[in-house]
């Protein structure tokens, strides 16, 4: 058997929609992007949604509209995909890395409070592998210290916090549609916001700072001569991608439902094994299980990397859990020299098991059987 760690859930419908879009001749940002944005905002419960080329550019533009620049500090967990920190560097600000909680791998509000200084301007919270962080606790800190909250929801499309979808809780929520996430457009990103000024400026910035977009000009019976109001970027999503995204979004709830079934099967099969710690969903959270990450305790007879190799020898791909950014060469070379013991331990000891919608029961059984065997629990 050959089992990948993840697999997008795309089908002929997405292919047909991309095909149809190509034949309309409108291939970059146009009517499909507008439709995708409208439907995405409606789905997450925000007033607006702004489509961009990926989540990294979504974070970059969010930091710009939040007014973050050189000299500012932005707090974020080191334990995240490195793009979270990189976006902060793009605007000339300094990422200040904080700890995560060991049960959830999510940002630790107590460590955030310790690391707030007079230079702190914003906090980027990350919904780790789809599991929402403590939004209300972080919002309270933001209110107390006049900070802007940005949510890195790259992995969290379809997840909810306190009964409301991620995307509806604050004004700069950034999503990814990379194939490793729960829904995909190849590459792609979205910023959900209910702030009309943010929405306008984000739309301008993603298209070179232009005063008018192509679709509005195309539909106008008056000549419109554009101006470029500020130095912007080309961070557009294409209409071909948006067409795929519209269908993926329609499938999102059923995708999450299936992912939850598979995760519950894993949780049940692994619940009696002492030498591992299983992922955790609090009563406030509803996770889309973007990844299923298991912590290997030091009492385990075998190391995390040896488990990964053994599984690979059997045709099962796994991945290390979430990385830490502060230990990557890119940040060491920028002079970052800190210790974050909880994050480091979690990153070194966790393993992501295969989980994807079209997974068969036979594949699920195969993963569990061999994972247990690696842990001497068969
Ligand atoms: C994937 C990911 C990103 C980057 O998303 P792209 O769309 O690939 O730019 C950023 N943050 C987190 C937490 C991610 O998982």
Residue whose structure tokens are 């979430």: 322
Helix (H, G, I), strand (E, B) or coil at 234: strand
User: Which CATH fold would you assign to the domain 12-250?
Assistant: 3.40.640
Q: What is the pLDDT of residue 216?
A: 87
* 83 touches ligand 1 (CB under 6 Å): yes
Ligand 1 centroid – CA 56 distance (Å): 6
* 104 touches ligand 1 (CB under 6 Å): no
Q: Which helix (H) or strand (E) holds 35?
A: helix 31-44
Between the two ends of the chain, the Cα-to-Cα distance in Å is 19
What is the DSSP code (8-state) at residue 238? P
Predicted confidence (pLDDT) per residue in 32-64, tens digit: 999 999 999 999 999 999 999 999 999 999 999
Instruction: Assign domain 252-374 one CATH number from 3.90.1150.10, 3.40.50.720, 3.40.50.300, 3.10.580.10.
Output: 3.90.1150.10
- pTM, two decimals, is 0.97
Predicted confidence (pLDDT) per residue in 131-142, tens digit: 999 999 999 999
Residue 267's Cα: distance from chain center in Å? 23
Domain residue ranges of the chain, discontinuous segments joined by +: 12-250, 252-374
Ligand 1 centroid – CA 240 distance (Å): 21
Predicted confidence (pLDDT) per residue in 74-94, tens digit: 999 999 999 999 999 999 999
Instruction: Say how many CA atoms lie within 13 Å of 222 toward its Cβ.
Output: 4
Ligand 1 centroid – CA 217 distance (Å): 32
* 152 touches ligand 1 (CB under 6 Å): yes
Nearest atom within ligand 1 for CA of residue 56: 9
Predicted confidence (pLDDT) per residue in 257-306, tens digit: 999 999 999 999 999 999 999 998 999 999 999 999 999 999 999 999 99
Nearest atom within ligand 1 for CA of residue 126: 13
Common-topology check for domains 12-250 and 252-374: no
Give yes or no for a contact between 329 and 308, defined as CB atoms under 8 angstroms apart.
Answer: no
Residues annotated as catalytic are: 181
Ligand 1 centroid – CA 109 distance (Å): 22
What six digits make up the tokens of 305? 């990397």
């Amino acid at each position: 058997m050959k089992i990948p760690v993840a697999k997008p859930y795309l089908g002929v419908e997405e292919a047909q929609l991309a095909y149809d879009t190509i034949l309309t001749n409108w291939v970059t940002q146009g009517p499909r992007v507008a439709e995708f944005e409208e439907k995405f905002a409606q789905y997450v419960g925000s007033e607006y949604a702004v489509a961009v080329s990926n989540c990294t550019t979504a974070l970059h533009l969010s930091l710009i509209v939040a007014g973050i620049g050189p000299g500012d500090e932005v707090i974020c967990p080191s334990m995240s995909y490195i793009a979270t920190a990189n976006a902060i560097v793009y605007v000339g600000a300094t990422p200040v890395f904080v700890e995560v909680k060991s049960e959830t791998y999510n940002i630790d509000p107590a460590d955030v409070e310790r690391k707030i200084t007079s230079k702190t301007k914003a906090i980027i919270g990350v919904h780790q592998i789809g599991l929402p962080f403590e939004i209300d606790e972080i919002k309270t800190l933001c209110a107390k210290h006049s900070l802007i909250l940005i949510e890195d929801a790259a992995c969290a499309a379809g997840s909810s916090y306190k009964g409301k979808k991620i995307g509806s809780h604050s004004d700069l929520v950034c999503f990814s549609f990379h194939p490793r996430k729960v829904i995909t457009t190849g590459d792609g990103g979205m910023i959900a916001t209910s702030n009309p000024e943010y929405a306008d400026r984000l739309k301008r910035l993603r298209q070179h700072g232009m005063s008018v977009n192509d679709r509005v000009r195309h539909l106008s019976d008056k000549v419109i001569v554009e101006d470029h109001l500020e130095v912007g970027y080309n961070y557009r999503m294409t209409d071909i991608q948006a067409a795929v995204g519209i269908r993926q979004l329609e499938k999102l709830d059923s995708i999450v439902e299936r992912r939850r079934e598979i995760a519950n099967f894993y949780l049940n099969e692994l619940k009696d094994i002492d030498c591992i710690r299983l992922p955790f969903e609090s009563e406030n959270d509803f996770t889309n299980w973007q990844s299923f990450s298991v912590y290997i305790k030091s009492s385990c007879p075998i190391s995390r990397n040896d488990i990964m190799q053994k599984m690979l020898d059997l045709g099962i791909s796994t991945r290390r859990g979430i990385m830490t950014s502060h230990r990557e060469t890119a940040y060491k070379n920028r002079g970052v020299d800190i210790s974050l013991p909880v994050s480091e331990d979690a990153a070194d000891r966790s393993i992501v098991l295969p989980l994807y919608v079209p997974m068969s029961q036979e594949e699920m059984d195969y993963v569990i059987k061999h994972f247990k065997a690696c842990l001497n629990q068969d």
